[in-house]
Amino acid sequence: MKARDLRELTDEELKQKVQEWKRKLLNLRFQVASGQLTNTAELQKTKRDIARALTVLRERGVRYG
């Protein structure tokens, strides 16, 4: 997701997105460990989405976590 799109979301929506992506990242890591994940680029994409969302939250001065 683009940072431009993330900036259009409210603080609560951003926090929900971060939680959703963190759950997705956990599931992807389990898939890698069990050899089920074929598209490993999805891991990096999810990490970057989390970082972008947290960056937008920090720009707004909102604490997460």
Overall fold of domain 3-60: Helix Hairpins (1.10.287)
The pTM of the full predicted model, rounded to 2 decimals, is 0.91
pLDDT above 80: residue 65 = no
pLDDT of residue 35: 94
Helix, strand or coil, per DSSP, at residue 11: helix
Angle between helices 41-60 and 11-34 (to 10 degrees): 160
Q: Can you tell me the distance from the alpha carbon of 37 to that of 27, in angstroms, rounded to the nearest whole number?
A: 10
Please give the single-letter amino acid code of residue 15.
K
Q: Can you tell me the distance from the alpha carbon of 65 to that of 13, in angstroms, rounded to the nearest whole number?
A: 14
Residue 1's pLDDT band (boundaries 50, 70, 90)?
A: confident
